[in-house]
Structure 1
């Protein structure tokens, strides 16, 4: 019998290693909220973790270098009136983070490079539009200041954080709770999973579901989906017998899966973290003590098991460092931040190589911090791939940049009261559309006032008749 040929892959020997004890972050009261988000977000500057907070919701933001025991009086980011359910760093500004809460709001925060003396309580902007808890956040991968939120009201809202405006509201596509939302690489499509067991591919600007697959996984427990580099959809879910399962799908042919594999009988939802540069997907189950990782290729069986990193303690959540935050001199290809009950522990994934030289094949150019489009350009229909940077000389985060919010408001174009000054460059002329809108509103208000006056007159007449009748 011929020997089985071992598949060649530079990632076959990737191994995981927990950081030394002095590299962990100790004494953090990780949130106990039962919500299937990662509870942790990390970028090349900061580590953010959702924490327990009395009378509201809070998260802590630590500079990456601040390892060891965290002072119990270390300032928190507080402002929500109910637990925080999800946090996400802006990919184009390492000092900006968004938080979503049970209090139905989304808040966007500016984190200073220095450690503040007291709690940060004032967000740059509060986004109000959901009617129930907001549990999912995701920044647009290539357009500046575009943020997606999804809530318990089964609505997805896409915001322009720079103006506080709702760009798009997708409110009639999901009949039940949304479990996950993922952008593709250029932000032209969304992959969503829902409690109705349907996997949907949505074009948000057209407001259309362009492809869907019912029961990609037949179990009732939550499903997750991410786009791969090839444009396929990688999913995690459960079989009818409650076994955990992973799948790979071609959105152009949703009838049959490209690959479908059963895994185990654990009941924790599998959170997939996908790295497009290596096409490796890492699966971290909430409540598991392991990270399994697979390479996705064009050859059968398409999803190739690589290895499992195991530790003794289960994970409460997991943060995933963007590629630009890794140490390329040590052939580090992924870094996780694993949440325990009272601490956060970095876990490093490394490709074993003997050479000290930069490994071009491990580090293709990767998305950098510059957006490729403005929000208005994206909304108008433009698409652009991420602006890539080389990691050959390592990545140095840019200096602190403020996010400026310019709220657009109908009051901004209202003519000033009192005598009209001569027209100056600063006076914004009323657009035809705004004038028509204002006239329509005035007309509607006038009709409403007239109707109320008629109702008041009729009620007064009835009262008079009643009074006359009792005399």
Structure 2
């Protein structure tokens, strides 16, 4: 009698578990917008969720430790004039998040480590370049301040958030709506899916599609799921891909290997209620002392609950084979280095002693002075006395002085507001 050979894998027994009730986030009005993004973004410091908001678009940002019921007056991040469709944390600064909206803009926000006393309404920078709604955001994995956005205009724009400039605009590559965009591990290539049912691999700096005529797939998996979109989350450290059906109540996970049949089904985590969105914690935000290899943040209609994926191990020691060095918060390149053609793999860190997020780091935007640009050469019209170069120079200097004075006033007031907020926080903490 032949005996069935069971494939050896340390991930065969990975199991999912919903966190205890007191670890959930309650009374959150999750957005009801019909859009296919995950509606949730998480990092080792914060949980961000797109929420219902009157008169525009908004999302809420909660410190990870602020579990339980969320006060209905908890400050939101507001500023968009139409619904927010996607949000994404910067991989190199845990206090910076980008939001994309139906109002055609992308906004980048600085989130303070303390809880603000009122809504955050002023982004660090607003990026304007799309002609229709912006529904997809993705930060570059290794280059500082490089952000990708894709819009309903079928255009992909790559920005330098540090200057507000468009680095690259990829037009005429997609004849229809772009459904998803993803960088490869070092950010040298993009892969996109489109409504025209074509998968494209793009070299953004060359502005070329380098592959899209794929033949037979290496694996085909029938999914018993609803008609909702599948949200894939891939963990390169464990070579596990998790598929979360939006509107479904399951997470199916598979191990990817180099040998045929390449894709191996591991298990399915099921719960009672369907998910309206899903956040995926970066590896550096996991609890390595409990053999946690993935953590999801599942959105319900009015709450968010963590789902923890664990490899069962008896030892309390650090498990080297489960936690290879993983991408940390330091970028490997500057934006202009990447644009010039350089590539670099992510800067890795060890999780042996756990990961402690660094304190608040401010993102500074330095817009280039358009006044530094030389005027165009060509025929010049006749000048009146008030139009003379001397008069223009005097007017320009006056305006620049006024702008400088106003900017200093605004900065002084912002510092005063921040100081007062900190004092208020200390007073509130002291009375708890």
TM-score bracket, normalised by the shorter chain, equals 0.7 to 0.9
Q: Tell me the SS of whatever aligns to 1:109.
A: strand
Superposed CA deviations along residues 117-159 of structure 1, whole A, max 9, x for unmatched, are 0000000000000000000000000000000000000000000
Cα deviation, residue 254, structure 1: 2.2
Cα deviation, residue 468, structure 1: 85
Superposed CA deviations along residues 77-119 of structure 1, whole A, max 9, x for unmatched, are 0000000000000000000000000000000000000000000
Q: Tell me the SS of whatever aligns to 2:220.
A: strand
Distance across 2 between alignment mates of 1:459 and 1:60? 22
Distance across 1 between alignment mates of 2:350 and 2:430? 91
Cα deviation, residue 267, structure 1: 0.7
Structure 1 residues 154 and 439: alpha-carbon distance in aligned structure 2, compared to 1, 3 A threshold: farther
**Aligned alpha-carbon RMSD (Å):** 16.0
Superposed CA deviations along residues 309-329 of structure 1, whole A, max 9, x for unmatched, are 110000000000000000000
2:423 equivalent in structure 1: 462
**Which range is displaced more, 92-101 or 258-267?**
258-267
Contact between 2:225 and 2:248, CA under 8 Å: does it hold in 1?
no
Structure 1 residues 5 and 100: alpha-carbon distance in aligned structure 2, compared to 1, 3 A threshold: same
Of residues 397, 408, 413, the one that matches 1:436 is: 397
Distance across 2 between alignment mates of 1:270 and 1:294? 14
Distance across 2 between alignment mates of 1:65 and 1:463? 20
Distance across 1 between alignment mates of 2:426 and 2:117? 70
Cα deviation, residue 408, structure 1: 1.3
Superposed CA deviations along residues 324-379 of structure 1, whole A, max 9, x for unmatched, are 00000000000000000000000000000000000000000000000000000000
Q: Tell me the SS of whatever aligns to 1:435.
A: helix
Distance across 1 between alignment mates of 2:129 and 2:171? 11
Q: Tell me the SS of whatever aligns to 2:390.
A: coil
Distance across 2 between alignment mates of 1:434 and 1:3? 90
2:116 equivalent in structure 1: 116
Structure 1 residues 417 and 449: alpha-carbon distance in aligned structure 2, compared to 1, 3 A threshold: farther
Structure 1 residues 413 and 316: alpha-carbon distance in aligned structure 2, compared to 1, 3 A threshold: same
Distance across 2 between alignment mates of 1:141 and 1:469? 40
Superposed CA deviations along residues 413-452 of structure 1, whole A, max 9, x for unmatched, are 4699999999999999999999999999999999999999
Distance across 1 between alignment mates of 2:424 and 2:53? 56
Structure 1 residues 259 and 439: alpha-carbon distance in aligned structure 2, compared to 1, 3 A threshold: farther
Structure 1 residues 321 and 426: alpha-carbon distance in aligned structure 2, compared to 1, 3 A threshold: farther
Structure 1 residues 316 and 445: alpha-carbon distance in aligned structure 2, compared to 1, 3 A threshold: closer
Structure 1 residues 423 and 6: alpha-carbon distance in aligned structure 2, compared to 1, 3 A threshold: farther
Larger Rg: 1
Distance across 2 between alignment mates of 1:362 and 1:457? 42
Structure 1 residues 121 and 2: alpha-carbon distance in aligned structure 2, compared to 1, 3 A threshold: same
Distance across 2 between alignment mates of 1:454 and 1:39? 32
Structure 1 residues 153 and 440: alpha-carbon distance in aligned structure 2, compared to 1, 3 A threshold: farther
1:12 equivalent in structure 2: 12
Contact between 1:179 and 1:195, CA under 8 Å: does it hold in 2?
yes
Q: Does 1:204 align with 2:165?
A: no
Structure 1 residues 355 and 121: alpha-carbon distance in aligned structure 2, compared to 1, 3 A threshold: same
Superposed CA deviations along residues 246-296 of structure 1, whole A, max 9, x for unmatched, are xxxxxx982221111212252111110000000000000000111000000
Q: Tell me the SS of whatever aligns to 1:259.
A: coil
Alignment of 1:26-425 (within 5 A): 26-210=26-210, 254-413=214-373
Cα deviation, residue 409, structure 1: 3.5
Cα deviation, residue 2, structure 1: 1.2
Contact between 2:226 and 2:247, CA under 8 Å: does it hold in 1?
no
Cα deviation, residue 463, structure 1: 71
Q: Tell me the SS of whatever aligns to 2:60.
A: strand
Structure 1 residues 79 and 361: alpha-carbon distance in aligned structure 2, compared to 1, 3 A threshold: same
Distance across 2 between alignment mates of 1:75 and 1:449? 22
Contact between 2:225 and 2:245, CA under 8 Å: does it hold in 1?
no
Contact between 1:92 and 1:370, CA under 8 Å: does it hold in 2?
yes
Contact between 1:157 and 1:166, CA under 8 Å: does it hold in 2?
yes
Structure 1 residues 117 and 3: alpha-carbon distance in aligned structure 2, compared to 1, 3 A threshold: same
Structure 1 residues 358 and 467: alpha-carbon distance in aligned structure 2, compared to 1, 3 A threshold: closer
Distance across 2 between alignment mates of 1:319 and 1:288? 15
Superposed CA deviations along residues 444-465 of structure 1, whole A, max 9, x for unmatched, are 9999999999999999999999
Structure 1 residues 466 and 78: alpha-carbon distance in aligned structure 2, compared to 1, 3 A threshold: closer
Superposed CA deviations along residues 375-434 of structure 1, whole A, max 9, x for unmatched, are 000000000000000000000001100000001132244699999999999999999999
Cα deviation, residue 300, structure 1: 1.9
Unaligned runs of 5+ in 2: none
Figure out how many residues of one structure are paired with residues of the other and give that number: 430
Structure 1 residues 300 and 441: alpha-carbon distance in aligned structure 2, compared to 1, 3 A threshold: farther
Contact between 1:413 and 1:429, CA under 8 Å: does it hold in 2?
no
Structure 1 residues 414 and 268: alpha-carbon distance in aligned structure 2, compared to 1, 3 A threshold: same
Structure 1 residues 441 and 29: alpha-carbon distance in aligned structure 2, compared to 1, 3 A threshold: closer
Structure 1 residues 428 and 78: alpha-carbon distance in aligned structure 2, compared to 1, 3 A threshold: farther
Contact between 2:109 and 2:123, CA under 8 Å: does it hold in 1?
yes
Cα deviation, residue 299, structure 1: 2.0
